């Protein structure tokens, strides 16, 4: 009996241990599930997606419009799933302000090595957030300003390029046929940043660079499928995705070779005491940083960084401004009364012979309003380059997981019908007060805001004013195509108009 009692005691002892362990496991699982549900409840709302693919299949080539609709339905902070990546869309200025300005230390990271042909871990567009980015932005801005960016001293160079553009238009007028203006504008704009960075007009003097510009403008035939591989990297090894990957790698190698040639030529010919351009200044800074205890690499001053930085300046300085000018020509060629009103203002200020100048910009409120309305309707980057959450944080009370992509839907913000009644109507008067004075609207963020705001914003604004004023001082443009052109444009690197032709009359 004693032995039986001992056996029963052991049985109950082990049974109690097993029950305790089981209880702990069940409690732990319940806690984990409860914790997950609790966290999920704090995530931003958003549309349901497909298994594995998430919301990717529901996006078109006009994703800015689908995302705007989702922001309208789910609120200014909307969550998507792109594959297994958390994708947060910000659809209000307040949300963007909180994320990119007030919490820039959390939401200013970048995804790395994901966009075939243009990303990387160097340069400035895709450089991750940290001390190197701050240093490179500081140096880049200071150096470009030294060579005239945003200053009156660069106007003569810009106006010279405007005159060259007008000479090309004159030749097209003599032919008497409708013509395309987009590549002429692209060459003009790229020549300005080319002078600052390389001290020469590469688009005019180097055929390979002209081909480079053409590729940026038209995009690759694999552009769409290359974008998918951002969210599904394993697809890079499977046709047809692998074909696009290989093509992008070849293009990138060619572009890097071109930029490296420029750097090598500068090394061979520069005088450290008299820098000619941005590259010379960077090479000088490499010499200084090499003597620093931190070393040049730690500060980001090395050949690879210079090569990618030059590429980023060239891309950003050519693409965004040229696309905006093309939109101006397209919209005004289809809205003659607005074109006539702007031409009258330009002539009132400068006459027919005097070259435009930014000194008189305040006397040209209607011209400024036209440019501002184009930037509102067709911002250069409708969905700004994705930021990455460096660590977990919150935006407008919603939990944003670490490594989530966070994007500002600039198109959606600037085409929100609650802020901009009848947003698809081209109406420059939105930006004028009752006295006809120009008003900078608070809902306008075409160049984004915060720690990663476009570095060349001042340069872009100067170019827009001078080139637009120069064109419409001399010519009346008339749209030469069908009226059913898709005015939504095409989103490649930036939001560009579909190919169109115009006729022009000298005034």
Domains of the chain: 39-506 (1.10.630.10)
The percentage of residues in the chain with a pLDDT greater than 90, rounded to a whole number, is 56
pLDDT of res. 275: 93
Bigger pLDDT: 4 vs 154: 154
Mean pLDDT: which of 190-199, 211-220, 412-421 is highest? Answer: 412-421
pLDDT of res. 151: 75
pLDDT of res. 13: 42
Q: What Cα–Cα distance (Å) separates residue 235 from each residue in 20, 226, 228, 282, 468?
A: 47, 9, 8, 38, 44
Q: How far apart are CA 493 and CA 407, in angstroms?
A: 15
pLDDT of res. 19: 45
pLDDT of res. 220: 60
Q: How far apart are CA 72 and CA 413, in angstroms?
A: 10
C-beta separation of 410 from 382 below 8 A = yes
- What's the mean pLDDT in 67-84? 94
Beta strands 405-408 and 85-90, pairing class? parallel
The percentage of residues in the chain with a pLDDT greater than 70, rounded to a whole number, is 84
- What's the mean pLDDT in 416-445? 95
Instruction: Tell me the three state secondary structure of residue 118.
Output: coil
pLDDT of res. 455: 87
> pLDDT tens digits, residue range 149-189?
777 778 988 999 999 999 999 999 999 999 999 989 988 99
Bigger pLDDT: 488 vs 226: 488
Q: How far apart are CA 271 and CA 498, in angstroms?
A: 45
The encoded tokens of residue 408 equal 């500002």
pLDDT at 39 over 80: no
pLDDT of res. 256: 82
Q: What Cα–Cα distance (Å) separates residue 129 from each residue in 83, 110, 296, 297, 318?
A: 24, 7, 18, 16, 24
Bigger pLDDT: 468 vs 152: 468
pLDDT band, residue 228 (cuts 50/70/90): low
Contacts of 439 (CB under 8 A, 6+ apart): 431, 432, 433
> pLDDT tens digits, residue range 248-305?
777 778 878 888 998 999 999 999 999 999 999 999 999 888 777 666 677 789 999 9
pLDDT of res. 6: 43
Single pTM value for the model: 0.86
């Amino acid at each position: 009996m004693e032995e039986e009692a001992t056996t029963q005691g052991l049985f109950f002892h082990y049974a109690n241990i097993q029950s305790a362990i089981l209880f702990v496991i069940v409690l732990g699982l319940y806690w984990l599930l409860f914790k997950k549900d609790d966290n999920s409840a704090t995530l931003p709302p958003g549309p349901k997606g497909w298994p594995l693919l998430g919301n990717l299949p529901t996006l078109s080539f006009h994703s800015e419009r689908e995302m705007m609709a989702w922001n309208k339905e789910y609120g200014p902070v909307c969550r998507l799933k792109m594959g297994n990546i958390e994708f947060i869309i910000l659809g209000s200025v307040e949300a963007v302000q909180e994320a990119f300005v007030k919490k820039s230390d959390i939401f200013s990271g970048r995804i790395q090595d994901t966009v075939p042909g243009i990303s990387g871990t160097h340069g400035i567009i895709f450089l991750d957030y940290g001390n190197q980015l701050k240093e490179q932005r500081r140096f880049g801005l200071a150096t470009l300003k030294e060579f005239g960016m945003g200053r009156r001293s660069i106007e003569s160079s810009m106006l010279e390029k405007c005159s060259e553009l007008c000479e090309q238009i004159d030749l097209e007028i003599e032919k008497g046929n409708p013509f395309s203006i987009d590549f002429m504008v692209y060459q003009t704009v790229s020549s300005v940043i080319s002078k600052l960075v390389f001290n020469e007009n590469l688009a005019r003097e180097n055929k390979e660079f002209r081909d480079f510009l053409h590729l940026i403008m038209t995009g690759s035939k694999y552009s769409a499928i290359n974008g998918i591989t951002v969210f599904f990297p394993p697809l890079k090894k499977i046709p047809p995705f692998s074909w696009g990957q290989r093509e992008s790698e070849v293009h990138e190698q060619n572009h890097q070779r071109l930029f490296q040639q420029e750097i090598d030529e500068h090394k061979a010919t520069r005088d450290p005491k008299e820098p000619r351009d941005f590259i010379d200044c960077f090479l000088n800074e490499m010499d200084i940083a090499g003597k620093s205890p931190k070393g040049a690499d730690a500060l980001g001053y090395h050949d690879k960084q210079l090569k990618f930085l030059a590429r980023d300046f060239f891309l950003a300085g050519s693409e965004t401004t040229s696309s905006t000018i093309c939109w101006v020509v397209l919209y005004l060629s289809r809205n003659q009364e607005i074109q006539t009103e702007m031409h009258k203002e330009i002539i009132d200020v400068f006459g027919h012979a005097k070259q435009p100048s930014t000194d008189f910009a305040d006397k040209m409120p209607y011209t400024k309003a036209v440019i501002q309305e184009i930037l509102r309707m067709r911002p250069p980057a409708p969905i700004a380059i994705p930021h990455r959450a460096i660590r977990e944080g919150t935006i407008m009370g919603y939990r944003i997981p670490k490594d989530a992509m966070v994007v500002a839907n600039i198109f959606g913000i600037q085409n929100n019908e609650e802020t901009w009644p009848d947003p698809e109507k081209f109406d420059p008067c939105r930006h004028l007060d009752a006295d006809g004075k120009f008003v900078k609207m608070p809902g306008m963020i075409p160049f984004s805001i915060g720690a990663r705001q476009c570095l060349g914003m001042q340069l872009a604004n100067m170019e827009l004013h001078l080139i637009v004023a120069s064109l419409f001082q001399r010519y009346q443009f008339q749209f030469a195509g069908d009226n059913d052109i898709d005015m939504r444009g095409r989103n490649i690197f930036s939001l560009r108009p579909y190919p169109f032709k115009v006729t022009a009359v000298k005034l």
